[in-house]
Amino acid sequence: MSNIRFNFPAPVIDASVDRLRQEVRAFLREEVKRGSFEPVTDCWCAGIDTEFSRKLGQQGWIGVTWPKIYGGREWSALHRYVITEELLVAGAPVHAHWIADRQSGPLILATGSETMKRKVLPRIAAGECFIALGLSEPESGSDLASVRTRAQRVNGGWEINGTKLWSSGAQVCQYMTVLARTGERDAANRHGGLTQFLVPLDAPGVSVRGIQDMSGVEHFNESHFDRVFVTDEAVLGQEGEGWKQITSELALERSGPERFLSTFVALETAFQQCAQDLQGRQATVMGMMVARLRALRAMSFGVAALLSEGKSPDVEAALVKDLGTRFEQDIIEGLREFWPIRLKQPFGDELHHLLSDSLLRQPSFTLRGGTNEILKGIVARGLGLR
């Protein structure tokens, strides 16, 4: 039996991290005051505003951990962490650049060609180039290794055919990282023969169609690839290594603050609204939320610290996402005891708007980036049960 001892070390926070937090906070306060955005719930998925992303790029707050030659600032992962936290807490419309900053950029940095890095990364950092994820397909959701999109070698490059689904924000993106089958299916090695490509979405043969979600927001997309030609330059990393790359992206993807802060803006607004005479059961319920949030944050920080030590805390990251995404939903479930949610329209009531919006958005929290059932499977494997 493997006795797992979870350990969540504290990252070392120097003064520059705190300073950065204050800077970002002040900037966002100013932006809200100027009316440049209205705080929204689930802002890292539902809030698309390319102009706002460009502003953040101009501030130098995208791709901050990357080398300077590629437009980064060579800051620590912790610097990036506090930027993302403050953006989420403010409910800022950050989806346009979120994926590229969080995972496509680092993926390109790790696996892209020099030409690609010099061409794409500085534009991402400037808030001018956005990237969508091309993972899921109509027939491949949790079972990602079953993707049917194919890339075949042709003269001078590759030809891609297939359909990608649920790519958030693709309508404003210049590129998509497309996971495609490049080798034959092998029952003994289901995860082999997969390769990732960086595909320009303006290439001939690509069509992107928006899909509305149940909350009324159109951020999802279905993208068709019909004999799309890309050069060898578009291959990310080694042919056939796509699966390994994806799983190493996941610890980063799963443990960040967007896995427990998606609805925090509602909790903050609720506190502001009732602080004058908060008492009794309402205080108990809301305070317990703050406690759980503080603990989740300690856990997420711990995973960040482990990642920066070069460890692979896959199980810990899966736990953060499983617990965190359920907590995001529980916030709204808890608050509705005191602020019942009946109408869709806000009628000027900001809190109500945040609550009803969250409620209609939150089924996705425990699905995206690996369903919680998949995550529990990863934990069970870590415990030696499978």
Partner 1 sequence: MEQTDQLILDTATRLFTDHCEAEVVNKAESGEVPDSLLKSIIETGLPLAWVSEEAGGVGGSLALGFGLIRLSAAFALPAPLAETMVANQLLAQAGLEVAVSWAAPIFDASALPRLHGNHVSGIVEEAPGVAEEAVLVVPVAEGDTIRIAVIDPEAVILEPRESLAGEPRTRVTLDTVVPRVLSEPVAGMTEAGLRQFFALVRASQIAGALEKINDLTVAYVQERQQFGRPLGKFQAIQHKVADIAGESALASAAVEQAVRTLSAQKAPFSGAAETGLAVATAKVVTSTASGLVARIAHQSHGAMGFSFEYPLQQYSRRILGWRDEYGTEFYWGEWIAQVVAGEIRDAGSTAWELVSR
- For 217, half-sphere exposure in the C-beta direction (CA atoms, 13 angstrom radius) is 22
Contacts of residue 373, Cβ cutoff 8 Å, sequence gap at least 6? 142
Q: Which two tokens stand for residue 271?
A: 């506190």
In three-state secondary structure terms, 237 is: coil
Tell me the closest approach of the beta carbon of residue 154 to partner 1, in angstroms.
42
Consecutive H or E run containing 133? strand 131-134
Contact positions toward partner 1, by CB under 8 A?
A: 1, 3-8, 10, 21, 85, 89, 264, 267-268, 271-272, 274-276, 278, 280, 282-288, 290-299, 302, 315-316, 319, 322-323, 373, 375-377, 379-380, 382-386
Nearer to partner 1, 11 or 169 (CB): 11
In three-state secondary structure terms, 52 is: helix
Nearer to partner 1, 13 or 165 (CB): 13
Nearer to partner 1, 33 or 386 (CB): 386
Instruction: Please state the separation of Cα 266 from the chain's center in Å.
Output: 20
Distance (Å, whole) CA 330 – CA 361:
13
Distance (Å, whole) CA 150 – CA 163:
10
DSSP state of 9: P
280 burial via Cβ count (<10 Å: 0-12, 13-18, 19+): exposed
Nearer to partner 1, 72 or 302 (CB): 302
Residue type, 330: D
Distance (Å, whole) CA 375 – CA 372:
5
Which of the residues 249, 253, 258, 328 is marked catalytic? 253
Distance (Å, whole) CA 77 – CA 66:
10
State yes or no: is 253 an active-site residue: yes
Tell me the closest approach of the beta carbon of residue 299 to partner 1, in angstroms.
4
Tell me the closest approach of the beta carbon of residue 280 to partner 1, in angstroms.
8
Nearer to partner 1, 229 or 271 (CB): 271
Active site residues: 253
